[in-house]
A and B are shown apart, each in its own frame.
Chain A
Amino acid sequence: MTVSAQKAADRGNRTRAQAGGRTTRTTSPLRPGRSRLLTGLMVLYLVYTLIPLVWLVISTTKTQPDLLSTPGLAPGHSFALFANIKETLTYRDGIFLRWFANTLLYVVVGAGGATLLATAAGYGLAKYKFPGRRAVFAVVLGATAIPPTALAVPTFLMFSGMGLTNTVWAIIVPSLVSPFGLYLMWVYAAEAVPQELLEAARIDGASEFRIFWTVALRLLAPGIVTVLLFAVVSTWNNYFLPLIMLSKPNLYPLTVGLTQWSNQAHGAGADPVYNLVVTGALLTIIPLIVVFFLLQRFWQSGLSAGSVKQ
């Protein structure tokens, strides 16, 4: 989570630096010009990040035999992209579409809910003084340090005790909790919502809920989008939790389903469908890419908020 945050921040800085370089060509300590070394490094980094994607796109155009017999970055003997897509969508009675719908459900309810909860809680903690606030702060901060993977097995045992494994709730309920999102919203709300505004609203007679819903929520929008993006990405990519919680293929999200396809290349009765696995992987990342492009603006402004003290 933090790594991706950093990456996103880097990307933000990069575009800003480039924009700066383009408009003003002066070199001063405040507005550094282009550094060949840094540009070279960034180009290398860009190539490094894009090659897997290029490989994926090229691979999706190959048939299963071509995938194994032709070099990874070279085209295959035939262009099988559309045949692959068709087969991916219809293989095993079109279970891929089912997985797609499941993933959407987990993302909309899980990530959406997580964002809502994080926003409400972050706002509450930032704007209301109450005893035990510091304790909550310590717990939340501590929770961000625990990787969700470490909690998966205990969560499984707990859920199995409650009879919730093998249901959509086994994925949605844990996804609703996002300590990092809460922390982010807390910091953001403390900066973005002026105390004076809240007091003015109170004097005008607005209820606390109305203040949150009509005043604060708008001010918090960039932060909300940031948290939403984080939550969407992590829920979309969630692998370990559904892997142990679910045994019905009908409930799988894309990550677990595609791994199952990938693993069926193993042992007696092996049935490798790598062409479907890579095509499925490409189809899986497209929605994420779209979401990124659409919400990129908010994402960047959300991340840089609070970086400068006003």
Chain B
Amino acid sequence: MKIGHRRRFRRVGLILAALTASTLVLAGCGGSGGGNGSASGDGGDKASPQALDAALKKGGKIIYWTWTPSAEAQVKAFMDEYPNVKVDLVNAGTGNDHYTKLQNAIKAGSGAPDVAQIEYQALPQYALPGALVDLRKYGLDSLESDYTPSTWRAVHVGDGLYGLPQDSGPMAMFYNKEVFDKYKLEVPKTWDEYTATAKKLHAADPTKWITNDSGDPGFTTSMIWQAGGKPFTTDGKKVTINLGDAGTKKWTSVWSPLVEQGLVSQIPGWSDEWFKGLGDGTIATMIYGAWMPGVFESSVPEGAGKWRVAPMPTYDGQPATAENGGSTESVLKQSKNPALAAAFVRWLNNGNGIKPFLEKGGFPATVKDLNDPAFINKKDPYFGDQAVNQVLVGTASTVVPGWSYLPFELYANTIYGDTAGKAYQAKSDLNAGLQAWQDALVKYGNEQGFEVNK
């Protein structure tokens, strides 16, 4: 509960993740050579979607690792529908704890689940070393038109399809209307207006901030994404890292002054202090993915009625957003029954599994559900009866294309605090901080057998 403790625990987890990740990447690169090109080579015999139906009919047992809140309801509904199949649901931890255990199991060669939740940002780290099954083998690439383009791209690494999108997280701006009304603030549409709002709010009440950011790599990468930056490109073993490209600079030109002038709070995200700040008005806006309403409703009861949603501010006033968070379910190579596992994934994210997911407040990745009038027009009492999905679905189509994550993004995230994070603490130039991050990443990548910036 104490933030210090939690952070330390998290750090321990991060170190572990980094340790195991490094060995995993190494092993993967040594073994597979062209990991993403080998899809046609592995298996050879291409199974059809009918093979999945047959696997469901035959039944069996699979293990599913996830921390999705709706998982229990989903698994129950699945087993009701397919009594032959036994799904063993395991919550092995949230985020890094989960990844640490997953990587340990992959490295150990046994003990991994059949199906695992993997966030989009982490997918390359598992797909490139060949730990995941390319679902094109089961013809699931035919489902392309069911998903938004940005999530469909997010489940691909190279040409391979390594999962089906569970949810999507197009970014939007959540703002505390009570605070905005009290200090007579306008809802900002551009980043210049956002900066002006930040100044006005903090000047009016120094205990309130426009938002918080103590150095969150997921937020940073999404913000660079929105600004049009493409700092990470991967082609086989060749990786390019350029955290000084035009898009990145565009973001830092807005965000660095906010940090340097102390206009964003240094409350760490997801701490108890942060949840408190969302409830009592200390934090006035939150720029996060479309899954955020669920978090608000379940975890910030004091904020009920105060919060609203607006599109994310942009640089030129034209709508543009990025993906932030979101997960896929993937089939592990270790699975002894990959066809059944793939069939389960198809049911979860392209079948009847979506309904329980939506009931728990999830934000879908499927076009059909996103465009369902009942979903779009649903008035949300937490947000003062605003039809929040109208805003969120509207932004989903404006995701800036062309983004990709590093093949060692999880490691990159773990060291963000120790490199770029220092710039936040010192309230100094973020460009220098990002350069420090880049230097560490280039060094690490080359040590792992990638050819970074060569």
Binding site for B on A (CB under 8 A): 59, 65, 67-69, 92, 153, 156, 160, 163, 165-166, 239-240, 243-244, 247-249, 259-260, 262-272, 274, 277-278, 281
Contacts and interface: CB of A to CB of B under 8 A. Distances in A.
Chain B interface: which size bin?
A: 35 or more
B104 interface: yes
A153 B67 CA distance: 25
Q: Which of A68, A264, A278 has the most CB of B within 10 A?
A: A68
B97 interface: yes
28 contacts: A65-B301, A160-B108, A165-B104, A165-B111, A239-B9, A247-B104, A247-B111, A259-B9, A259-B97, A260-B93, A262-B1, A263-B9, A263-B10, A263-B93, A264-B67, A265-B272, A266-B95, A267-B94, A267-B270, A268-B289, A268-B291, A268-B325, A268-B327, A269-B68, A269-B69, A271-B298, A272-B299, A278-B1
A268 B364 CA distance: 13
Interface stretch (B171-179, B233-241, B274-282, B330-338): B274-282
Interface string B56-97: 000000000001110000000000000000000011111101
A247 B1 contact: no
A244 B104 contact: yes
Interface of B: 1, 6, 9-10, 12-13, 16, 19, 67-69, 90-95, 97, 100-102, 104-105, 107-108, 110-111, 167, 169, 270, 272, 275-276, 279-280, 289, 291-292, 294-295, 298-299, 301-302, 325-327, 362
A25 B250 CA distance: 76
A243 B14 CA distance: 12
B135 to A, nearest CB: 22
A82 to B, nearest CB: 20
B280 A69 contact: yes
User: Is the contact region of chain A dominated by helix, strand, or loop, or is it mixed?
Assistant: helix
Nearest to B113: A247
A247 B279 CA distance: 34
Contact of A266 (B94, B167, B289, B327): B94
Contacts of A274: 1, 272
User: Is the contact region of chain B dominated by helix, strand, or loop, or is it mixed?
Assistant: helix
A78 B436 CA distance: 49
Contacts of A270: 270, 295, 298-299
Nearest to A95: B91
A274 B6 CA distance: 12
Nearest to A262: B6
A270 B362 CA distance: 11
A283 B195 CA distance: 47
Q: Which of B94, B102, B302 has the most CB of A within 10 A?
A: B94
A23 B290 CA distance: 70
A160 B104 contact: yes
A59 B298 CA distance: 20
B299 A244 contact: no
A259 B11 CA distance: 12
Given A156-B104, A247-B92, A262-B1, A271 B69 contact: yes
Given A268-B169, A268-B291, A269-B362, 20 more contacts: A69-B280, A153-B19, A160-B108, A165-B111, A166-B111, A247-B102, A259-B9, A260-B94, A262-B6, A263-B10, A263-B93, A263-B97, A267-B94, A267-B95, A267-B325, A269-B67, A269-B291, A269-B294, A271-B299, A274-B1
Contacts of B19: 153
B167 A268 contact: yes
Nearest to A92: B91
A281 B1 contact: yes
A243 B91 contact: no
Contacts of A266: 94-95, 270
A262 B9 contact: yes
A68 B276 contact: yes
Nearest to A56: B1
A243 B104 CA distance: 11
Given A165-B108, A268-B326, A69 B302 contact: yes
